[in-house]
Amino acid sequence: MKTIIKLICVTALLYSSSGFAAGGSSPLFHVNVDVDNRQSLQRGAKLFVNYCLSCHAASYSRYKRVATDLGISDKNMRENMIFTNQKLGDPMIVAMTEKDGKTWFGGAPPDLSVRARARGADWIYSFMKSFYLNEKATRGVDNKMLPGTSMPHVMWELQGWQDLNPDYGHDKGSNKGNHGEESKPPFILVESGQLSEEEYDKAMTDLVNFMVYLSEPAQLKRKTIGVGVLFFLAALGILAYFMKRDYWKDVH
């Protein structure tokens, strides 16, 4: 029995260790997502189809479902968010094949349908904010969240270019130092983009918000249904209480 328990503990330890290693660095930044913010989801969808959908598919989702959930008209979706000959009912796939992805990037770009659930919103948000110049990297940039990434900085026009801050000493991204002082930011902006830092942060929040929705579209209705069920159970509980009191009034 003791041997079995030891084996279970060792297996769990190895599994957790490998999972941590596969997950990469801890998120540097925190993002507040709100899938009930339809305008944010619409802005995020626009960024997604313009900057992500060229290489990354979202094959578990369909254009029509996204349009319906986000309040986007079919005409607007066709004219501004579908850049191929695909139809509204088609899945959000890309022309790039797995073979081409391996040839051009060293590996096929991952499907982003459920990426937010696999990585977490904070990780994706940190990843999109953590590209920095690196002459030794193949594409001239690297990413602190995923060192050695083959993905180029597709948002460089919006964010600009940044470099690592040599004074940054808190790898966990804490806003405070060991003695409560403000820590240095992990990056230094060396060339401005089209957006200010605040505007870029808001844009990436919208993008991550959309990806969180994309990973579980049913959550938009699930939460509403859940609230309705709670109200129903509360009303049923009140009726059950008065019924119980009426049935037992003569017992005492």
Helix/strand/coil for 109: coil
Contact 205, 125 (CB under 8 A): yes
What gap in Å lies between CA 27 and CA 29, rounded to an integer?
A: 6
Residue 58 has pLDDT above 60, yes or no: yes
Give pLDDT tens digits for 41-55: 999 999 999 999 988
Contacts with 112 (C-beta within 8 Å, 6 or more apart), sequence order: 48, 52, 56, 57, 58, 211, 214
Contacts with 80 (C-beta within 8 Å, 6 or more apart), sequence order: 46
pLDDT of residue 106: 75
The dotted CATH code for 31-216 is 1.10.760.10
Give pLDDT tens digits for 142-190: 999 999 998 999 999 999 999 999 888 644 444 444 444 457 889 999 9
Residue 193 has pLDDT above 90, yes or no: yes
pLDDT of residue 18: 35
In the chain, what percentage of residues exceed pLDDT 90?
A: 50
Averaged pLDDT, 97-118: 82
Q: Of the ranges 61-65, 67-71, 108-112, which one carries the lowest mean pLDDT score?
A: 108-112
β-bridge pairing 187-192 and 160-164: antiparallel
SS3 content of the chain, % helix, strand, coil (to 5): 50, 10, 40
Averaged pLDDT, 24-38: 88
Domain residue limits, the chain? 31-216
In the chain, what percentage of residues exceed pLDDT 70?
A: 84
Residue 36 has pLDDT above 80, yes or no: yes
Averaged pLDDT, 220-225: 79
pTM: 0.75
